[in-house]
Chains A and B, each alone.
Chain A
Amino acid sequence: MKKIHWLIVLLLAMAMVISACRGAAPSDGSAVVEEAPTAAEAEPQEEAVVEEAAEEPAEEVVEDLSAEADASGIGNVRVAIVMPSTISDVAWSQSMYDSLLRIQESAGGPDVMEIAYTENMFNVTDAAAAIRDYAADGYNIVIAHGTQYGTSLFEIAPDFPETSFAWGTATDVGTEQGLENVFAYEARAEEGGFVNGVLAANLSESGILGVVGPVEAGDAKLYIDGFVAGAKAANPDITVNVSYTGSFGDTALAAEAANTHIQAGADVLTGSAQQVVGAIGVASEKGVPWLGTQSDQSSIAPEIVVASQLYDWDGIVLDMIEKNQSGEYGGTAYALTLSNGGLVMEYADGLDADAVAAAEEAAGQIVAGTIDAMAAIEGTMPETPAAEESGELELPEIEPVRIALVMPSTISDLAWSESMYDSLLQLQEAYGGDVIEIAYTENMFNVTDAAAAIRDYADSGYNLVIAHGAQYGTSLFEIAPDFPDASFAWGTSTNTGSEEGVTNVFAYEPRAEQGGYVSGVLAAYLTKSGIIGLVGPVDAGDAKLHVDGFVAGVHDTNPDIDVNISFTGSFGDTALAAEAANTHVQAGADVLTGSSQQVAGAIGVAKEKGIPWIGIQADQSPLAPDIVVATVLYDWQPTLLTMITSQQAGNMGDQVLELTLENGGQKMIYSDSLPEEAVNAAKAAEQGIIDGSIEIVAEPR
């Protein structure tokens, strides 16, 4: 009895340790099966790095491959694959995994061909670790199934010259880097896109088509561009509405996008990436036909998935295996095309015969070469709503830097922590994962734990350790002097510790009263009842500044408006924040705002009651797109760049950095639904703050 006693105590201790040590990323668990993977399952958060647009096909020989791959002659082989999403994503990842399974069966089963896989590797660092592990474990072929893995892959490949690596969407096999063991592959998705476009144009009666896109890059962009070109070729008067959700996995948003398209009159829909599950759900509900790509999505909604462009990687996989076994470990760039059988068009039974005939004719012409899908795309510029980056960010040259982030909440908190993490990710995307390495620890609301994490990161050689919480100051000033070669950053604060002789701490503070002021002006224009509600966390830090600015903005516009402010006393009490919002609404408020991660509760109430919300810190509109009418977005990129360049020039700290409207640290985002007069007033306020003509005076509370 007593022995088991100790075992249980040990297990519990482990549970405590494991759950307390929140590492850099979710577990990778090779070949871990997801809990209840269903086609309708929501996918993990959007990939951090976008798939790059496919370049012109490389000079290497592009093999022509038959879709009927007979693998019975191959010898024993071990194949591993690392994927950004799941094997059940009915899209990108599943298409490759299904191919592997088919080859395995044709080869004679798992005894001949062993398959191992790791899913959900949207984080490049994790993926790189998985790729390296597989190679070290002796797998013959390691497939890095994501464009973002390229840089890491090129670092790993030289260490394993007798392992084949495969990489896609890509055309670069690394010859410039002297690599001989890398295969590259891509899907010329614009071909099937063109065919689907022709089909859709023929099926549509309303003359309006809807496209639910993920990110405007990679095979998604090719597919959609091809689709638009094909539709216009079949019917020049057709309207194709294209929207991008900005993510590969945002199922809810994809569903919303589908709804929007249908409401705009579309009677045929298409789209790509694993999030289409959401869109297909909506299409199924509304009886709108869906054209799919990448994988066969008809299992989700058999009646409405009327056509698909299937990615058949079988031929490529078999060719790679055969080459690998004959000693040729890489050097070939493959493409899936209609003519080599890598892209297969499938049509549902009972589909309008004329439409299918037109589509097959188009497919035939692409194969024969009489239609060039890429040229057709260049001829027709698709009407995509501009996904613009407001303001250009200057990217100076920097050396590789390792950055660690310690946060009091989570990277998905829709507020303080998420804003900093997102900015870090954007910088990493701009410079590449080999220049900027990121590590983070979440939920460090306990200062002692945070201090330990900060010290550990500094000990492990991180160049810049960001202590992202006002409460971390005292501990930070004790740690910083022990690591003179590292830089630390601390916020919200204006104290760099110089009085205590600390020289390697950057302090940062969002001048939240600026964004608050502009929000206040906006809110003053929006309110009809003359009462505005503010759900605050704690009357300190950037929350306090925000409130100060907001009230000033409201009263400078109209001194008779009541701004009711309540503080919940916590940053994370979601339930209380919801109650606070309710209270405000009952007190007559018809515009709401607030800060910190608990606003998720308040936004829920605002959504229920139809009250507009003005957000701050991060973009909360995914939670309630119609309700979040404006956001003061914290963009930490300029601040981070200043810290990095400063440090690399030898200036380790001792600077106070601010997020302001002027330096681009705060950006106002306005929804299209706002009245013009209000937006103009808000923009005028922005200008006034920037040029100094507006002075923000905090009212006493």
Chain B
Amino acid sequence: MRELTILAIVLGVIHSGIRLATPYLYAALGETFAQKSGVLNLGVEGIMLMGAFSGFYTVFVTGNLWFGLLAAAVIGALFGLLMSVVSVTFQAEQGISGIGLYMLGLGLSSLLFKTTLGTVEGVKGFSELHFCLSSLGINSDLCLAEVPVIGQIFFSHSILTYGAFALVPISAWIFNKTNWGLSVRSVGQNPEAADTLGVSVNGTRYAAVILGGILAGIAGASLSISLLNIFQENMTNGMGFIAVALVYFGSWTPVGVLIGALLFSTVNALQLWVQVLDLNLPSDVAVMLPYLLTIVALALPFRRAEQPAALTKPYERGEN
């Protein structure tokens, strides 16, 4: 490797890791809300694909990035609603209904893509922000993104990435400091008790799952109108399922999910660098690394918070 310092490599890995983590964060945080309330939504992947398509198509037609994001959020909410109706009201087996939702999202997004666009196109999505003084009207070339070290790590991401990271403390605050967050947690832990206290179990679950859907939709849009700026059929390639696993990995807490997403994405970024650096590591091993590390981390016997006691169990008043 000529003239590439260790520092440059490390910074590159961190930058890539943060960027790659964006869709995982949105999706996994959304899923955390759903699971905390007791609903397992395996359809995240399908919602992400629908969000990716709606966001992309809206931007393609209107040119307005915020409309695109809104479209993705709305579609995500609708799918979340569908999941709620099936899992909460009709009390279907959640693992199966989630997979059904995944396939619906996969098939529908592909169908819509084929009938509207047909070929892979590009759009101008949310680009990296560089926080330049010139955008404040000041006559200067100085940009925060150019500050050594911190510039690359903190000040050169797209607004959706910042949004994803901001969502972590916000989610934590919602869970721990708001009434609604308390309802969500109690409904997932002990729905009978919550019910006797007047908390609407199903209503809370609906809200949590719809919120999860919105975030999953935005996760998909973060791919199609921010990170990649294209839409391709099945472009999420399993991210949604990894996101669900990250919730378990993160012990159903936003901070845990953040650590999991960053770990997974950073190691993924690392394995790419490892291959570039000619370290004589077979590519197959490099590719395995993120998954290997995740398994190892999961196997480590440190205390993991127990999963919400009522996870996957539909609630009906009067049943015990």
Shortest CB-to-CB span from B270 to chain A, Å, is 10
- Bound: A624/B228 CA distance, A: 13
Q: Give a binary string over B263-279; 1 marks a CB under 8 Å from any A CB, 0 the rest.
A: 00000110011011110
Among the interface residues A46, A587, A604, A622, which one has the most CB atoms of the partner chain B within 10 A? A587
What total count of A-B pairs have CB within 8 Å? 191
Min Cβ gap B237→A in Å is 5
At the interface, yes or no: B115 with Cβ under 8 Å from chain A? yes
A45 at the interface (CB under 8 A from B): yes
A1-43 interface bits toward B, Cβ cutoff 8 Å, 1 = contact, 0 = none: 1001100110011011011101000110000001110101111
Is B119 engaged at the interface, CB distance under 8 Å to the other chain?
Answer: yes
- Whether A412 is near chain B, meaning CB under 8 Å from some CB there, is yes
Interface size (A, Cβ < 8 Å)? Answer: 74
Smallest Cβ distance from B78 to chain A, in angstroms? 14
B227 contacts A580, C-beta separation under 8 Å = no
How many angstroms between the C-alpha atoms of A27 and B96 in the bound complex?
Answer: 26
Flag the segment in A301-309, A310-318, A345-353, A571-579 that touches B: A571-579
> Which residues of chain B are within 8 angstroms of A536 by Cβ–Cβ distance?
283
If over half of B's interface residues share one DSSP class (helix, strand or loop), that class is named, otherwise mixed; here it is helix
- Supposing A583-B272, A587-B4 touch, asked if A16 and B103 sit within 8 A by C-beta, the answer is yes
**Interface status of B185 (Cβ within 8 A of chain A):** no
Across the interface, B106 reaches (CB within 8 A) one of A12, A19, A608, namely A19
Tell me if A567 and B104 are in contact (CB < 8 A).
no
- Contact check, B108 vs A19: say whether CB atoms are below 8 A apart: yes
Docked pose: A696 CA to B183 CA in angstroms: 67
Report the stretch among A454-462, A507-515, A558-566 that lies at the interface. A558-566
B84 smallest CB distance to A (angstroms): 12
Chain B minimum-CB-distance residue to A580: B272
Contact of B114 among A4, A412, A580, A600 (CB under 8 A): A412
Contacting pair A588 B2 (CB below 8 A): yes
When C-beta atoms are compared, the residue in chain B nearest to A530 turns out to be B2
CA distance A567 to B282 in the complex (A): 10
8 Å CB interface, B17-54 against A: 19-20, 23
Given A44-B115, A45-B119, A410-B110, answer yes or no on A566-B237 (Cβ-Cβ < 8 Å): no
Judged by a CB distance under 8 angstroms, whether B132 is at the interface is no
Cβ of A120 within 8 Å of any chain B Cβ, yes or no, is: yes
Task: Flag whether A481 is at the interface (Cβ < 8 A).
Answer: no
Report B's interface with A, CB cutoff 8 A.
1-4, 8, 12, 16, 19-20, 23, 60-61, 86, 90-92, 96-97, 99-100, 103-104, 106-108, 110-122, 127, 223, 227-230, 232-237, 239, 268-269, 272-273, 275-278, 283-284, 286-288
Q: Can you list 8 A-B contacts (CB < 8 A)?
A: A12-B100, A410-B110, A412-B113, A579-B20, A579-B272, A583-B276, A587-B12, A588-B3
10 A-B pairs with the lowest CB-CB distances in the bound complex, closest first: A19-B107, A45-B118, A569-B287, A566-B275, A12-B100, A567-B283, A564-B276, A19-B103, A586-B12, A583-B272
Chain A residues in contact with chain B, CB under 8 A?
Answer: 1, 4-5, 8-9, 12-13, 15-16, 18-20, 22, 26-27, 34-36, 38, 40-46, 120, 249-250, 252, 409-410, 412-414, 443, 530-531, 533, 536, 539, 562, 564-570, 572-576, 578-580, 582-584, 586-588, 597-598, 600-601, 604, 607-608, 622-624, 701
